C-alpha cells in the first residue's frame, strides 16, 4: 500500500510517498481503508518536530511513528475475531491517536473504541474533519461557560 512517510523532522517537502506493507488487524483490531483524512496542528507538530518539547513524546532525533495522521474516515476492510461492533463494509470515522497514528496511508489498523459509524448523509471528507475540530470546539465551549 502507499503511505506518506516522515523519516526525519522537517518541512512538508521532507515527507515522502512510499510503498509499505499493509497492516493486519490482529484479534482485537479493525483494518480501515482510508477514504479521507484531515491535517491539523497535531499532525503538523510531529512532522516538524516543533515545538522542541514535543520531541520527548514523538522521538528525540527522528519521529518514532513514521506515518502521520490521526483523523480518518473510511470503510472497514477487515475485523479481528474479537470485534463485534463493526462489520466489513461499514463506513466509519474517528480519531485514532489513542492506538497509534497512520491515517496518511491507504489502510490503517485501529481499535474499535477509536471509530464510530459514519452517518450516511455525511461525506467521507466532512467526517474526517470532525473528530479533532469537534474536540477543540467542545473545549472552547466549556472554557467559556
* Residue 101, domain CATH: 3.90.180.10
Q: State how many domains the chain has.
A: 1
Distance of alpha carbon 113 from alpha carbon 28, whole angstroms: 11
pLDDT beyond 60 at 9: yes
Residue pLDDT, tens place only, 71-105 = 999 999 999 999 999 999 999 999 998 888 999 99
Give DSSP secondary structure letters for 106-143.
Answer: SEEEE-GGGEEEPPTTS-HHHHHHHHHHHHHHHHHHHH
- Going by pLDDT thresholds of 50, 70 and 90, the confidence category of residue 28 is very high
> For residue 60, what are the domain limits?
2-144
Query: How many CA atoms within 13 Å lie on the side-chain side of 93?
Result: 21
What pLDDT was estimated at residue 116?
94
Amino acid at each position: 500500500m502507499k503511505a506518506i512517510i516522515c523519516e526525519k523532522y522537517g518541512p512538508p517537502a521532507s515527507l515522502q510517498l512510499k510503498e509499505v506493507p499493509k497492516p493486519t488487524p490482529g484479534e482485537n483490531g479493525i483494518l480501515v481503508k482510508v477514504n479521507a483524512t484531515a491535517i491539523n496542528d497535531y499532525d503538523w507538530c510531529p512532522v516538524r518536530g516543533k515545538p522542541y518539547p514535543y520531541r520527548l513524546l514523538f522521538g528525540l532525533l527522528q519521529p518514532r511513528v513514521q506515518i502521520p495522521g490521526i483523523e480518518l474516515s473510511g470503510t472497514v476492510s477487515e475485523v479481528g475475531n474479537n470485534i463485534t461492533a463493526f462489520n466489513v463494509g461499514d463506513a466509519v470515522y474517528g480519531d485514532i491517536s489513542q492506538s497509534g497514528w497512520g491515517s496518511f496511508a491507504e489502510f490503517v489498523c485501529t481499535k474499535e473504541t477509536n471509530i464510530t459509524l459514519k452517518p450516511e448523509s455525511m461525506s467521507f471528507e466532512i467526517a474526517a474533519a470532525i473528530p479533532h475540530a469537534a474536540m477543540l470546539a467542545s473545549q472552547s465551549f466549556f472554557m467559556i461557560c
